[in-house]
């Protein structure tokens, strides 16, 4: 406690309230040192309580360069347990060092963490993105972790999914290699199995958002050699996430900077976000952009895995329960396709990987994706072990069932089981397109998205909006939902909802309808209702 008290004095809390949002704390970087220091303490306490390694990542992901943030990983590699978010909020908002010490003591008592013990054997893995403020904030995190008496393994620049992957690998029993090299090797070797002798159809162009994904993708490509042809753009010279990256491409539905029509017409393109935990594909034809968002990726993955399960011999492996998890942002056409054409169960959760991940864990094979490109496929441990233990001669020439089994084994190693990962996601999309001998048009033809639009409304206090029913309806202000309902009812195939963002200081509005014009109109009308009921003094902005 003494060490915490000494160190805490160097990280005074600025004025204001810090709140643990959709994926941790996120705000203007200069306000964050005290919060990050305290998150260091918290994630060290979590490691001590669990007697296993945890993780801390310095990143503000899709936000602009001036922002930063912190994401926390549990020993499973998943996001910090929701039950501990309360502690995170309490620690971040303690006004004085004494108050902080009191809260730490409370947590230790409640969670039965002994004051002394074999602390130095417990480790927190630390990673950071390429923001200018990230190295300084990593130092604040180290101070917090060490003040709590726990060892730091500083891994330097990493993508968020790499950090989560390495935490999971660190804690696996029996132990798995937990080096970046092992991560790349696992992705590269499983991709090799998946693509076999299939040929790619030309180079894919990657928009790396000027983020940490650029150098990591380049390393991955060096491991793959001629197996994957890719050109990386927005590789770090320009401004992070500015008119580029997965969030920009998906929300604006515009080409990112460094991509133009007609030069890039017909090319297969993919966009990562600032910390490479999201991906969306896109293409451009005659100046018009086609988006292949998280929903389209979920459909592609679901049908591919479904086909593999049909190809293996009937039994415990083929009879896996398969389900898809989405949020309210999922395009209505994708949900309909997954339910009716693929015949799969669809669950809907509130926004946030932490919710989707938990819901996906209920299935033997749980595919989860947010429309914004966050997602992965989870394999239940017992089911995955059956697949890995199933005998194969290792000879792909032995027939369809053998090949399918080898591919399922490769999928278990390719797909990040801790959190959605743009690098492994790109490899899986590329492998499936090759396997199907598909161009993007073939993928696009699976179903037609309803036109959709997202807007941001800037209000004085976004917390004024409270939602319910997986964020599809507004609870407060009470007179807002009836207005939205009446508006939506006037549009054919209309659907709209609003929710406060947990990463940006805005309220988000989503709308879809039968035509592009109707969608635009519906989105603006709903945004106006939101502004009228919760807008106070600030102006309305749209993206
Ligand atoms: C984070 C979360 C995602 C969420 C996104 C936007 O992503 O991990 O689950 O969809 O924020 O959240 P909100 O709409 O609440 O702002 P990232 O990529 O920014 O870390």
The phi, psi pair for 196, rounded to 5°, reads 50, -125
Domain termination site, one of 149, 171, 193? 171
Sequence-ordered strand ranges (E) for 180-242 = 204-207, 230-233
Tens of pLDDT along 91-101?
999 999 999 99
Position 288 pLDDT exceeds 90: no
What integer pLDDT is reported at residue 118 of this predicted model?
59
Q: Evaluate: CB of 504 within 6 angstroms of ligand 1.
A: yes
Query: Could you tell me if residue 215 is inside a domain?
Result: no
What integer pLDDT is reported at residue 541 of this predicted model?
43
Q: Evaluate: CB of 502 within 6 angstroms of ligand 1.
A: yes
CATH number for position 456? 3.30.310.50
User: How many CB atoms within 10 Å of residue 42?
Assistant: 28
What integer pLDDT is reported at residue 536 of this predicted model?
60
Helix 160-171 crosses helix 180-195 at what angle (to 10 degrees)? 100
Specify burial of residue 219 (Cβ count, 10 A radius: 0-12, 13-18, 19+). Answer: middle
Check whether 516 is labelled as a binding-site residue: no
Q: Evaluate: CB of 352 within 6 angstroms of ligand 1.
A: yes
Which of 122-136, 189-203, 214-228 is predicted least confidently? Answer: 189-203
Which residues 6+ apart lie within 8 Å of 175 measured at CB?
Answer: none
Specify burial of residue 242 (Cβ count, 10 A radius: 0-12, 13-18, 19+). Answer: middle
Query: Could you tell me if residue 524 is inside a domain?
Result: yes
* C-alpha 485 to ligand 1 mean position (Å): 26
Domain termination site, one of 142, 171, 200? 171
Query: Could you tell me if residue 248 is inside a domain?
Result: no
Which residues 6+ apart lie within 8 Å of 375 measured at CB?
Answer: 294, 297, 298, 356, 367, 368, 369, 420, 425
Q: What percent of the chain shows pLDDT beyond 70? A: 97
Average pLDDT value for residue range 344-369: 97
Residue of 161, 352, 508 with the most ligand 1 atoms within 8 Å of its CB, for mutation: 352
Q: Which atom of ligand 1 is nearest to the CA of 274?
A: 18
Instruction: Name the residue range of residue 508's domain.
Output: 452-534
Distance between CA atoms of residues 211 and 60, nearest Å: 11
User: Which pair of structure tokens corresponds to residue 273?
Assistant: 């976000």
Tens of pLDDT along 426-445?
999 999 999 999 999 999 99
Do 225 and 188 meet the contact criterion of CB atoms below 8 Å apart? no
* DSSP string covering 9-22: TTSPPPSS----BB
What integer pLDDT is reported at residue 406 of this predicted model?
96
Average pLDDT value for residue range 82-108: 97
Q: Is 61 a catalytic residue?
A: yes
Query: Could you tell me if residue 92 is inside a domain?
Result: yes
Q: Which atom of ligand 1 is nearest to the CA of 62?
A: 19
**Residue from 34, 61, 134, 424 carrying the catalytic annotation:** 61
Query: Could you tell me if residue 269 is inside a domain?
Result: no
User: How many CB atoms within 10 Å of residue 40?
Assistant: 32
* C-alpha 503 to ligand 1 mean position (Å): 6
pTM, 2 dp: 0.95
Strands 288-292 and 279-285: antiparallel
Query: Could you tell me if residue 283 is inside a domain?
Result: no
Query: Could you tell me if residue 290 is inside a domain?
Result: no
Q: What percent of the chain shows pLDDT beyond 90? A: 91
CATH number for position 135? 3.40.120.10
* C-alpha 329 to ligand 1 mean position (Å): 12
Do 100 and 4 meet the contact criterion of CB atoms below 8 Å apart? yes
Q: What domain count does the chain have? A: 2
What integer pLDDT is reported at residue 537 of this predicted model?
44
Distance between CA atoms of residues 105 and 113, nearest Å: 9
Nearest C-alpha neighbor of 283 from the set 427, 442, 512, 452: 442
Q: Evaluate: CB of 150 within 6 angstroms of ligand 1.
A: no
Distance between CA atoms of residues 307 and 465, nearest Å: 43
Distance between CA atoms of residues 367 and 303, nearest Å: 11
Domain termination site, one of 108, 143, 171? 171
The ipTM assigned to this model is 0.96
Chain mean pLDDT for the chain: 95
Tens of pLDDT along 382-428?
999 999 999 987 554 568 899 999 999 999 999 999 999 999 999 99
Which of 196-205, 209-218, 258-267 is predicted least confidently? Answer: 196-205
- The pLDDT confidence band at residue 120, using thresholds 50, 70 and 90, is low
What integer pLDDT is reported at residue 539 of this predicted model?
43
3-state helix, strand, coil in the chain (%, to 5): 45, 20, 40
Tens of pLDDT along 14-26?
999 999 999 999 9
User: Which pair of structure tokens corresponds to residue 49?
Assistant: 């309580």
Query: Could you tell me if residue 36 is inside a domain?
Result: yes
Strand partners, 279: 272
Tens of pLDDT along 436-480?
999 999 999 999 999 999 999 998 889 989 999 999 999 999 999
Do 358 and 419 meet the contact criterion of CB atoms below 8 Å apart? no
Q: Which atom of ligand 1 is nearest to the CA of 59?
A: 20
Question: In which order are the strands placed within the sheet that holds 54-58?
Answer: 25-28, 67-73, 54-58, 123-128, 151-157
């Amino acid at each position: 406690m003494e060490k915490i008290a000494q160190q805490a004095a160097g990280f005074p809390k600025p004025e204001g309230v810090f709140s643990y949002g959709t994926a941790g704390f996120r705000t203007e970087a200069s306000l964050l040192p005290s919060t990050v220091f305290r998150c260091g303490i918290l994630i060290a306490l979590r490691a001590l309580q669990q007697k296993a390694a945890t993780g801390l990542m310095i990143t503000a992901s899709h936000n602009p360069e001036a922002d930063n943030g912190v994401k926390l990983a549990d020993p499973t590699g998943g996001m910090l347990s929701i039950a501990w978010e309360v502690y995170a909020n309490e620690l971040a908002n303690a006004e004085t060092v004494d108050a902080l010490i009191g809260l730490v003591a409370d947590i230790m008592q409640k969670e039965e963490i002994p004051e002394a013990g074999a602390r130095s054997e417990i480790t927190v893995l630390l990673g950071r993105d390429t923001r200018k403020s990230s190295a300084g904030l990593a130092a604040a995190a180290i101070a917090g972790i060490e003040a709590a008496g726990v060892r730091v393994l500083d891994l330097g620049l990493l993508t968020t999914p790499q950090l989560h992957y390495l935490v999971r690998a660190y804690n696996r029993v029996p132990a798995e290699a937990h080096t970046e090299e092992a991560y790349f090797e696992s992705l590269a070797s499983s991709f090799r199995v998946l693509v076999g002798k299939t040929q790619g159809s030309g180079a894919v162009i990657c928009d790396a958002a000027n983020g940490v994904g650029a150098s990591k993708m380049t390393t991955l490509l060096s491991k793959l050699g001629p197996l994957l042809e890719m050109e990386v753009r927005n590789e770090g010279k320009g401004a992070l996430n500015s008119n580029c990256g997965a969030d920009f491409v998906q929300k604006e539905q515009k080409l990112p900077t460094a991509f133009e029509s007609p030069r890039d017409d017909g090319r297969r393109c993919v966009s990562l976000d600032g910390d490479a935990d999201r991906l969306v594909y896109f293409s451009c034809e005659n100046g018009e952009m086609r988006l292949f968002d998280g929903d389209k990726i979920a459909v592609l993955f679901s049908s591919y895995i479904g086909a593999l399960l049909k190809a293996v011999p009937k039994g415990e492996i083929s009879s896996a329960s398969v389900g898809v998890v989405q949020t309210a942002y999922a395009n209505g056409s994708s949900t309909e396709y997954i339910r009716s054409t693929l015949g799969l169960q669809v669950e809907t959760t509130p926004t946030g990987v932490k919710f989707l991940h938990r819901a996906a864990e209920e299935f033997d094979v749980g595919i989860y994706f947010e429309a914004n490109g966050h997602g992965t496929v989870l394999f239940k441990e017992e089911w995955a072990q059956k697949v890995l233990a199933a005998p194969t001669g290792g000879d792909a020439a032995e027939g369809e069932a053998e090949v399918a089994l080898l591919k399922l084994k490769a999928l278990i190693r390719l797909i990040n089981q801790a959190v959605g990962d743009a690098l492994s996601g790109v490899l899986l999309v590329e492998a499936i397109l090759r396997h199907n001998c598909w161009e993007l048009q073939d993928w696009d033809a699976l179903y037609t998205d309803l036109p959709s639009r997202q807007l941001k409304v800037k209000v004085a206090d976004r917390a004024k909006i409270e939602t319910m029913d997986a964020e599809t309806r507004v609870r407060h202000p009470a007179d807002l939902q009836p207005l939205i309902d009446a508006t939506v009812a006037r549009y054919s195939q209309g659907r709209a909802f609003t929710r406060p963002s947990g990463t940006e200081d805005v309220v988000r509005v989503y709308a879809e309808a039968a035509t592009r014009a109707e969608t635009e109109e519906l989105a603006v009308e709903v945004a106006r209702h939101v502004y009228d009921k919760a807008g106070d003094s600030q102006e309305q902005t749209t993206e």
